[in-house]
Amino acid sequence: MDRYGNIDYATVAKRGTLASFALFLVGALGLAFAAESLPAWERTLLFDAEVLGVLGILLCPLVFGIVMPLTE
């Protein structure tokens, strides 16, 4: 039996990367088109979405595509 169950790492890496890219797009487009009319807490939320999206884009393929399969 596998150490972490039956996880399809390639699928998790692809879906995590796509979800992170979608999060980045929501943050970037929200800040680009509606930044003037938003309160400060919403601008902060969109900026955080951008940052988390970039981190997810970088870390999902690394963790689920390289590191986790090597630990099996």
Note whether residue 4 is domain-resident: no
d(CA 32, CA 20): 18
Number of domains in the chain: 1
Note whether residue 2 is domain-resident: no
44 exposure class (CB count in 10 Å sphere: 0-12, 13-18, 19+):
exposed
For residue range 6-63, what is the model confidence (pLDDT) as tens digits? 889 999 999 999 999 999 999 999 999 987 899 999 999 999 999 999 999 999 999 9
Q: Is the pLDDT of residue 4 over 80?
A: no
Q: Is the pLDDT of residue 5 over 90?
A: no
Q: Is the pLDDT of residue 1 over 60?
A: no
Query: What is residue 34's predicted lDDT score, i.e. its pLDDT?
Result: 87
pTM equals 0.86
